[in-house]
Amino acid sequence: MGVPDTMQLLYADKQGRMYDHGLKAVGRIGDRLVEVMDEDMLELPPGASLTLLPGSAPVGMDEQGTFKLLKQVPGCGDAALAVGALLPQGYTRTLLPGYQRRTGQILPLLGYAAVAWREGRVYVAAVRTDDPDRWDPAQYNSTALPELVRNRLAQAPRNRVLAQLAHCALEYSCYTAQNVFYGRWEGGLPVSPICNARCLGCISLQPAECCPSPQSRLTFRPTCSEAMEVAVHHLRYAPEGIISFGQGCEGEPALAADVISEVIDGVRQKTGRGTINMNSNAGYTRGVEKICRAGLDSLRVSLISARETVYHAYYRPRDYRLADVAESIRLARSLGVYVSLNLLVLPGLNDREVEIEALIKFIGDNGVNKVQLRNLNIDPDYFFSQVPADGEICGVDRLITTLRNMPGLELGNFSRPVI
C-alpha cells in the first residue's frame, strides 16, 4: 500500500467505477511521464468532471520510483482504464494524465488533465488563471433554458441565426449560444460556414480518419438582417453585453467580412452599447482590416505557437502564413482594436523554452493586449505525432509566470467588455 498522504493513482474499470491504488499518481508532459507532486495539484474545482481515456491503461509509480503500467483492476479480470479531468473555464491544466495507449483509437476531442486521489478527495493538475464565475457550469443548462429558447424563437421564427443558436444551446450546451437566450454577457453570432485552415483540433469539421467533431458546422450564409436582429437585441439588453463572431460551429469569420462589416455598421447606427468582438485565426488580413475599420471593438486571435513550423503543422492553413496573422494583429492595433491571443495550451508544447521565447517576442512585436489561456482539446498522442516539439521543457507554471511578468500584458481565460 502507498503512503496515505501521497497523491495516489486514480483509475477506473470499463463501467466507469473509480478506484484508488497504492501506486503514486503519475502525469505526462508531452510524451514524458513524471511523478505528480503536491505543488502540481489542487482539489477538483466545482464544475470539473472526471472522464475515461478509452483504450488507455493507467501508469503509476512505486515506492522505488519505477513507473508501473496497471493493466487490470486488482482482484478481477477487468481492464484498468486511465482517468483524466475536464476543467471548467478559468483553470489551466499543468499536466496530462499518465497513461499508455492500448489501441490505435484516437481519443475524443477533450482537454484531459492529470488527476490523483488523496485522503478521500480528488485532485487535478491545474492552476486557477481567471475568475470562473460567469463561466461556471452552474450558470448554464438551467431548467428554464428550453422555455427561454422557445419564447425567443417565437419572436423571430424566420431567423436562421437564432435557430442555429438554439440548436447549439440545447444540443451542444454552448455557453455563448445560451447567453443569447439568457440575455446576458457574451453571446455568440456565427456567420461563416467556410474556413481557410484545417486545424487538427477543429471542433466543427474533422477529416474522416480522425476523431469525430463534437458539433456540426453552420451550413448556410446568414443575411445581414438576420445577424443584425440577434446582435442589436443582445447589445441593447444584455448586462455587460458582448456579441462575438467566430464560434465553434463555424469556420473563419473574416471570410465573411462583407456581411460582418455591414452588420457592425448597422448595429452601431442603432445602439452604441456593448462590445463587438471577433474570434479569428486572423490569416485573412484584408478581411480583418475591413471588419476593424467598420468598428470592431476587440479581436481574439487563435494561436498555438509563435514558431512557424509548429503553427503550420497544427493549423494547416490553406492560403496564409503566420506572418499574415502578425500583420493582421498589428493592423488591428493601429486601428484601436483591443487584441487578445487565444493561446491553445498543451503541456509539453507551449511550456518549452524556445516556445516561450518566441511567444514573448510575438506579443511584444505585435502589440498584443492580452493572452487568454485555453486548454487544447485533443488526443496528446495524436497531436505529438503530427506536430513537432523540441527544446527544454520548463513547465506550464513557468509559462504562466513569464506572461504575468510582462509589463502591460493582461492574462486570463475570458473575453471581457472593452470600455
Q: Would you list the domain boundaries of the chain?
A: 8-128, 133-412
**What DSSP character marks residue 105?**
P
**Residue 1: per-residue pLDDT:** 38
Laid out side by side, the sheet with 338-345 consists of 186-188, 242-245, 275-280, 298-303, 338-345, 370-375, 410-412
Checking if the pLDDT of 132 tops 50, the result is: yes
* DSSP 3-state of 101: strand
For residue range 233-275, list pLDDT tens digits in order. 999 999 999 999 998 888 999 999 999 999 999 999 999 999 9
- H or E, element range at 86: strand 81-86
Handedness of CA 71, 77, 79, 80 (dihedral sign): negative
> Rounded to an integer, what distance in angstroms lies between the CA atom of residue 297 and that of residue 271?
14
Across all residues in the chain, what is the average pLDDT? Answer: 93
Chain-centre distance for alpha carbon 22 = 34
Name the pairing type of β-strands 49-53 and 41-43: unpaired
Cell of residue 406, nine digits:
510582462
For residue range 38-66, list pLDDT tens digits in order. 998 999 999 999 999 999 999 999 999 99
The candidate with the shortest Cα–Cα distance to 197, out of 359, 313, 350, is 313
**Residue 74: per-residue pLDDT:** 76
Q: Would residue 188 be called left, alpha or beta, if left means φ above 0 and alpha means ψ between -120 and 50 degrees?
A: beta
Q: Among residues of the chain, what percentage have pLDDT more than 90? A: 84
3-state helix, strand, coil in the chain (%, to 5): 30, 25, 45
> Rounded to an integer, what distance in angstroms lies between the CA atom of residue 227 and that of residue 250?
14
**Residue 75: per-residue pLDDT:** 65
> Rounded to an integer, what distance in angstroms lies between the CA atom of residue 368 and that of residue 130?
18
> Rounded to an integer, what distance in angstroms lies between the CA atom of residue 72 and that of residue 288?
53
> Rounded to an integer, what distance in angstroms lies between the CA atom of residue 88 and that of residue 95?
15
Checking if the pLDDT of 353 tops 60, the result is: yes
The candidate with the shortest Cα–Cα distance to 260, out of 318, 221, 302, is 221
The candidate with the shortest Cα–Cα distance to 177, out of 189, 195, 191, 160, is 189
Angle at 58 between CA 38 and CA 51, to 5 degrees: 80
pLDDT-derived band at 218 (thresholds 50, 70, 90) equals confident
For residues 160-188, give the mean pLDDT.
95
- Any residues with CB less than 8 A from the CB of 173 and at least 6 apart, and which? 140, 141
Q: Report the top-level CATH class of 133-412.
A: alpha beta
Least confident of 192-201, 210-219, 281-290: 210-219
Name the pairing type of β-strands 338-345 and 298-303: parallel
> Rounded to an integer, what distance in angstroms lies between the CA atom of residue 59 and that of residue 71?
9
**What DSSP character marks residue 133?**
G
For residues 73-84, give the mean pLDDT.
84
Least confident of 216-220, 222-226, 297-301, 370-374: 216-220
